[in-house]
Amino acid sequence: MKLSVIIPAYKRHPLTVRNVEETLKSSRVPDEIIVVNDGGDPVLKTMLPKHPNLIYAQIEEDILWNYNGAVNLGCWISTGDVLCIQDTDHIPGREAYANGLKVLEERPEIGRISYGRNIVQIEHVHKPMEEWVANGGMGSNQMVSLLRRDVYTAMKGQDERFAGNYGYMSYDFPYRRDTIQKTISQKANFFWAVLGDEGEPGLKRGLSVANKRIYHENARAGKPHSIHGILNFHFTMERLV
């Protein structure tokens, strides 16, 4: 199965670069790694390693909390049979992809793989992964997972629309995932969850308490989050070889 990894990024460029470097060292190297710079400083493109499997997409507008749009864009660009949505601060263990793909290959009824997480502090991430020491563990993350492409398509991505300013995906993503037929999940091991930095600056880009409530209510009711156009930003993309 062809594996596409989607990494939405905003302002934590050094951590995004480190994520890509470690992803390329996986025992099962992804067929595509798509980094989507969600309106952040385009210098990220020059910081990333050159690799034939690496695709860089730059969203030109700095839209308020466009995480949904960034993920949808990455998935739209991708060509894989299996999609891995992978945040900047979640770095795959060496066998994470191989473990997940093995389950999907052996068990066709499984549509999604979630991952256990080991905690690593940001000050240790510059070391080789083999020297990282787990500082505790965490349960799976709602958004970091392997999905069969048909599962993602049936969910209509993160929202009805292809991409745009639709709010924080964690409110609608589990609902959509759980309302389609092939949503049986299984956990595999493991991702590193990076803690200790300032966190994602994008969280400060306009998701108010009132909007959180509205998005949460809409997700439970299965309502769309926007009545506006399908695509409300511009982007460029290129393969980094």
The pLDDT tens digits of the residues spanning 112-124 come to 899 999 999 999 9
- pLDDT band for 4, please (50, 70, 90 cuts): very high
pLDDT tens digit sequence for 162-195: 444 444 455 566 666 776 655 677 888 899 999 9
Bridge partners of 215, per DSSP, are none
pLDDT at 167: 44
pLDDT at 200: 56
- CA distance linking residue 35 with residue 86, whole number of Å: 10
The ranges assigned to domains in the chain are 3-156+180-207
Residues listed for the chain: 241
Least confident segment among 104-113, 124-133, 158-167: 158-167
Tell me the CATH architecture of domain 3-156+180-207. Alpha-Beta Complex (3.90)
pTM given for the model: 0.85
pLDDT score of 91 more than 70:
yes
